[in-house]
Amino acid sequence: MNRRTIGRAPTLLALVVALGAQRAQAAAPAAERPPMDARRRTPIVVAVEKSSPAVVNISTEQIITRRSDPFYSFRAPFSDEFFREYFSHFGAPQEQRSSSLGSGVVVDPEGYVVTNEHVVHRASKIHLTLSDGTKLEGRLLSSDVESDLALIKIDGKKPLPAVPMGRSDDLMIGETAIALGNPFGLESSVTTGVVSAKNRSVMLRGQEAYAGLIQTDAAINPGNSGGALVNINGELIGINVAIHSQAEGIGFAIPVDRVRAVLNALFNYRVIQKTYLGIKTRDITAEGKARYKVAADSGALITGVDAGGPAAQQKMATGDVITALDGHAVADKLSFCKRMLHKQAGDTVVLRVQRRDATQTLRLKVAAVPRPSGTQLARSKLGLTLQEVTPALARSFGLRQAVGLLVTAMEQGGPADQAGLKRGDIIVRFGPLAINSLERLAIVLEQADRTQVSLVLVRRGRLYRAVLATR
């Protein structure tokens, strides 16, 4: 017998036996198949499984107007779009349609998505692709240029998977950080690293553009902007911002504690829905929960009640804690404001209120936002006399649109004077909101619970930022 033939026989037999075993295993019921190696399902895999369904792909359509611009080298960070949006005398316009890709994070099952403001800035259409491939259109509810955060609403037919929010005040240098997003348009990408540093400031064109960021070596590239940075528990600890696109090993994220604070302003039912209960609210501190005798995960504290408003008519008072709205538990100010976005003027809301040791159930009729005098509030709180920009004024200042408020006079030594404002300045943003009327300014000023507010203004063809101490 040929030795070569003898040598092949055992090999062929082994192959036949192996193939038979594979077929038998494939035909066996699922319960009899060997389980997946549990050692491969690491904590990182579990965290990604928990959080990735909440990360969405965002694409936008924009109309961009390009002009020659002698002020280009003098602009502040992020001012490019302001110049294109507001100024008309820098050459002949050339419009073109463009699209951008970014990421977003579902923070609420009802379809609220957080992303970077620069991802959706001036978008005419916003398209979102969910993790399961479903494509939906979104609408921009509100945005904050200073924090580079925006809130989008998806009107879906079913609840969406939302990422649980963690904390960023207790982050540890060296702990695991996982970045999820769509870098370069590649959907559902995951990169891992550690928290490299906290409270980082980033300079663009020699000026501070971001402050207080989380730095990580998890890769964050263009398209990752607006995506999630999560911890080993799959909890959101930051919103990614792609800044150093050519840097290796350096990524940044906006801390989730700041995101949560900005969301309180973005979920502003008074501005979005123009509805009114006549109260101011804030989150309760850990110490306050014990003092007000509410559960650890419950309550929006009332810090002010307007005389004559719906809340005052029901004898609500400062120090009361709202624990439920229409039977839905209120965990904090954010959840309360989110519920109020569903209400229209004339609706009735049922509030469960904790006052010291007693619990009350109150029925309030939602009112339309009263129209306070923006002129009077600007004078009393800012020391400013303002005028709405008319089309004629817009043309004289070289503005493409009649937007903003013109400073016509200032109180000597008042907040605006001390901040360096001048007659002829045009205020285009106040805090997180674009301002184009005295009515809108009045609503924002009336709700302001800070002693300082930021604004963006135009002066002689250049953009400036200022911080005012309100009275």
Catalytic residues: 118, 148, 225
Neighbours of 447 (CB within 10 A): 14
CB 163 within 8 A of CB 105: yes
Q: How far apart are CA 443 and CA 406, in angstroms?
A: 18
Tokens 């491969």 label which residue?
40
Q: Residue 226 in contact with residue 208, Cβ under 8 Å?
A: no
Contact (Cβ atoms closer than 8 angstroms) between residue 284 and residue 292: yes
Q: How far is CA 84 from CA 79, 91, 95, 215, 459, in A?
A: 9, 11, 11, 32, 15
- Give the other-Cβ count within 10 Å of 173's Cβ: 10
432/266 Cα distance (integer angstroms): 8
The amino acid occupying position 333 is K
